[in-house]
A and B are shown apart, each in its own frame.
Chain A
Amino acid sequence: MRSRVSFILLHVVLPLLVGGLIYACWRDYTLPMFRWFELMGVGPFVQQLRITMTPLQAGLPSWVEYSAPDAMWVYALTAFMALVWKGTNFRVRAIWISAGLLLGAGSELGQLAGFVPGSFDAWDLFLCVLAGVLALVLTSERISFKRSTNDVAT
């Protein structure tokens, strides 16, 4: 139970928190999340945070500001699904575990094809794929991705 909590904190909550902070500090104030912050009563705190963090933005690579949060989202979702489907049927597990990668990379490819609003960015796609793979690699010690005996039976 304890290892499961630490897994969630490290591989799910932390990436989401870091990605969320990047948005809160440096991204457009018109995003819905800032209205949510206001509704939650933390708007003034977020504004102060943005003021404090502004000087750091100058030295920030563009990909950190614009691509990394999406990649962290993919990482967290992949890790979450890996935990939920630990030790289960390979086929079902594979579908759920690939959800983050499919949604993240899929939306970028959708932009490339013109199905999804926005503009395709190769960095976004690269980091989304990297994040998905990284999540699998970094969580594989705790979660076996080998076919279980159930799979042999099916």
Chain B
Amino acid sequence: MTSQLKRNLLSVAGLGIFVLLALGSYPSTNSNRNNNNSSKPTGVTTHSAGMTTYSNSSGNFTGNLKDNYVDFSFDYPSAWKKDPGAGKGDSPNFVKVEQTTDDQITLENFAVGYFTGQREFMPKLANQLSEQFSSGFPEYKKVSEGETKVGRYDGYEFRFTAHASNTPKGDLDVWGRVVLLPGADNRKGAALIMLATSASDKVRGVDDVGEKGELPMVLNSFKFDKD
């Protein structure tokens, strides 16, 4: 076998391996910033890797959710349950997914609601939203707020603590984190609401929400589809 032929074979084999590696990143390698796929399938797609993708679809909503619809998607562990009440009636959320114990105690959850505010008004809107949350959680207390980042999106967040008494697991601490992502020229914004409780053995405090447990994977995967 000549040296030239050996080199040719080695090059073809090498090129094949490189192309194979590139295929592992297909299809999103080249669709990173403009994924304008308005005819994407509705709802959820389960992957063999134990994750399910939720893709928002405009045909599913009425009222405020329809008026403030935004294309987005995220992945969540397939073991989590999708709340059938979210996205229906007067629900403020397009979707809510949750990890619970066998007796339906929330360990972690993730919801996406609509948000139409401008970037410069986010602190004020965060305060308003915090006021609304305070009526829904016993012993509600906002503990921090400030600018944040989710993936490549700049946002504004606040974190809160609350307390739930007399649950099947006894008294539980509730830790929440709300991230407001402002809209862009071609889309509305979104509010990402994350909750965790002390029933989780991975989340130990409000600072861990979206940082430990399984929520980071969910939060990490969130993206607007028209961007």
Contacts and interface: CB of A to CB of B under 8 A. Distances in A.
Interface residues of B, number: 46
B7 A84 contact: yes
Contacts of B64: none
A54 B216 contact: yes
B31 A118 contact: yes
Contacts of A65: 152
B28 A31 contact: yes
A32 B26 contact: yes
Contacts of A140: none
Interface centre among B21, B34, B75, B148 (most CB of A within 10 A): B21
Interface string B37-57: 000000001011111010000
Given A29-B217, A33-B25, A54-B216, A117 B30 contact: yes
Nearest to A85: B7
Chain B contact residues, majority secondary structure: mixed
A75 to B, nearest CB: 11
Nearest to A67: B32
Contacts of B34: 119
A77 B31 contact: no
Interface in A89-138: 92, 96, 99-100, 103, 107-108, 111, 116-119, 121, 124
Contacts of A62: 152
Most chain B Cβ neighbours within 10 Å, of A26, A38, A118: A118
B11 A85 contact: yes
Contact of A29 (B25, B26, B47): B47
Given A35-B48, A37-B49, A88-B7, A118 B152 contact: no
A35 B148 CA distance: 31
B211 interface: yes
B221 interface: yes
Contacts of A50: 216-217, 220
Interface string B1-31: 0011001001100110011011111111111
Contacts of A55: 211, 216
B31 A76 contact: no
Main secondary structure of the interface of A (DSSP, over half): helix
A103 B153 CA distance: 30
A121 B3 CA distance: 40
Interface in B179-218: 211-212, 214, 216-217
Contact of A84 (B14, B24, B45, B220): B14
A32 B24 contact: yes
Nearest to B151: A57
A37 B212 CA distance: 22
Contact of B148 (A37, A58, A116): A58
B164 interface: no
A72 B14 CA distance: 15
A114 B97 CA distance: 38
Given A73-B18, A76-B18, A118 B11 contact: no
Interface of A: 16, 20, 23, 26-38, 43, 47, 50-51, 54-55, 57-59, 62, 65-67, 69-70, 73, 76-77, 80-81, 84-85, 88, 92, 96, 99-100, 103, 107-108, 111, 116-119, 121, 124
Given A33-B24, A100-B18, 9 more contacts: A26-B220, A30-B51, A31-B28, A51-B212, A69-B29, A77-B14, A85-B7, A88-B3, A119-B30
5 contacts: A32-B24, A55-B211, A100-B18, A111-B30, A121-B32
